[in-house]
Amino acid sequence: MNGAHRLGERAWTDLGGPHTVLVPVGSLEQHGPHLPLDTDARIAAAVTRRAADGDPALLVAPPLAYGASGEHEGFAGTLSIGHDALRAVLVELGRSAARWAQRLVFVNGHGGNLPTVPDAVAQLRHEGREVAWFGCAVPAGDAHAGRTETSILLALDPSVVRIEALEPGNTAPLQELLPVLVRGGVAAASPNGVLGDPRGATAREGEELLGHMVGQLRERLHRWLPDDRGRLG
């Protein structure tokens, strides 16, 4: 991505025109024995950067790398700020951005940040601010650290994927696992932290998944039709 799109690399005097600021939102949590802890932030940042490429009106803020990951606290390395703190951070970022940016979009890469992301956006919109959110999701993607995320990381940076450590976790459907996850977190459902099977993941599949998410984000930014909870549709 052209450095001109990176908000953190700009001087304030560069920001005279109307801008839409995109904030990738991720987490720092276990992703099985084969993926890095910052997987969600990496994916959200990559989707955001690619979507902004070529559009001078879009600015990509540095990722918010911590999220609400209480369901993963049974594993070492997870650092969660919880839902209350996440909501407060998002609301304050939205209020601050609204002082100079035309629009703000949170690009969420961690499912565990829901429903806090839409709650924060709904409050900001109620306050009259042009804020929305987009979720990095693909049709029929598996739940956590399985083939979906592993393929995407192989496309982004294969050096961070520990191929020798690929192993299946709990492959039951997420709806079936939800009662266990609610009671005891991911550790109660999967000792290795994987919900899915990463074996068979490929960089080619990862690029296809990234392309789908990037295309969706670009299209929805262009339409700008947030629903009543601020989700771009």
- Chain center to CA of 137: 9
Report the SS3 class of residue 166. coil
CB 63 within 8 A of CB 98: no
Round to whole Å and give the CA distance between 100 and 97. Answer: 6
Report the SS3 class of residue 138. coil
Query: 17 pLDDT band (50/70/90 cuts)?
Result: confident
* Distance in angstroms between the alpha carbons of the first and the last residue of the chain: 25
Q: How many of the other CB atoms lie within 10 Å of CB of 70?
A: 15
Query: 2 pLDDT band (50/70/90 cuts)?
Result: low
Round to whole Å and give the CA distance between 97 and 187. Answer: 38
Does 4 score more than 70 pLDDT? no
How confident is the model over 100-120, as pLDDT tens digits? 999 999 999 999 999 999 999
Domains of the chain, by residue range, sit at 7-223
Query: 164 pLDDT band (50/70/90 cuts)?
Result: very high
How confident is the model at residue 3, as a pLDDT? 58
The architecture (CATH level 2) of 7-223 comes to: 3-Layer(aba) Sandwich (3.40)
CB 72 within 8 A of CB 99: no
Among the residues of the chain, which ranges form H helices? Answer: 39-52, 82-97, 116-126, 147-156, 174-189, 203-223
Query: 5 pLDDT band (50/70/90 cuts)?
Result: confident
Q: Are strands 58-60 and 20-25 parallel, antiparallel or unpaired?
A: parallel
Does 1 score more than 60 pLDDT? no
How confident is the model at residue 195, as a pLDDT? 97
How confident is the model at residue 52, as a pLDDT? 97
∠ CA 119-73-87, nearest 5°, is: 20
How confident is the model at residue 180, as a pLDDT? 95
Does 190 score more than 60 pLDDT? yes
- Give pTM, 2 decimals: 0.96
The full length of the chain comes to 233
Round to whole Å and give the CA distance between 183 and 220. Answer: 36
The residue type of 139 is P
How confident is the model over 34-87, as pLDDT tens digits? 999 999 999 999 999 999 999 999 999 999 999 999 999 999 999 999 999 999
**Phi, psi values for residue 71, rounded to 5°:** -70, -10
The residue type of 47 is V
How confident is the model over 121-162, as pLDDT tens digits? 999 999 999 999 999 999 888 999 999 999 999 999 999 999
